[in-house]
Structure 1
């Protein structure tokens, strides 16, 4: 599974294998295929953070939602929705997911296989308060 970032859009795009990728049709899948940011990883989490991560997984992957539906429900639209960050030497579009007014945020990017690669688990929304 590759970890290079690719921008998924609502329009059809061709992949290397000649497949058509439609964001509205792709199931939301998550992966940990790189090392998590040291300040936003499992060792920093408390039990409540693990429970919030578990709830996010249940409400997204567990319900077999599409990427478009996850974006509708969880994409943060106030403040930085996407940011450019250099991760493992590659500039990537980082997406921030969270729900309602909960401080829980999960940051990552989409790889070539359509997986949301988790980069940071921000259980108390501290990233943009630094």
Structure 2
């Protein structure tokens, strides 16, 4: 969408809603697996969303997107919660969108992004993941 900072992105209502939903989907796994209190976890999500919107914390979208191979790893922020949603049979549509977005990430100055795009072209999504 052309946003340069995380603050700009999180102030976009559609992105805000998607990020919040993804956090709720991954949070549902924590609630089921570890017995987290739902209300406390929802308050935590709101706190994090507020931090993303903090004008004094400048975080570039490019930095957040970097190293997509690591972020798509089985024990990292996208796939691990997705696997938990599958295990518990909970909602995961927004996490899947996040994974799709990570797969689409292109940045010629990021070696992992270049490697990811090359792998997708050569062997496809299933083998790349």
Q: Greater share of helix residues, 1 or 2? A: 2
Taking structure 2 as the reference length, the TM-score comes to 0.28
**Rg larger in structure:** 2
Taking structure 1 as the reference length, the TM-score comes to 0.28
- The structure with higher relative contact order (CA 8 Å, sep 6+) is 1
Q: Greater share of strand residues, 1 or 2? A: 1
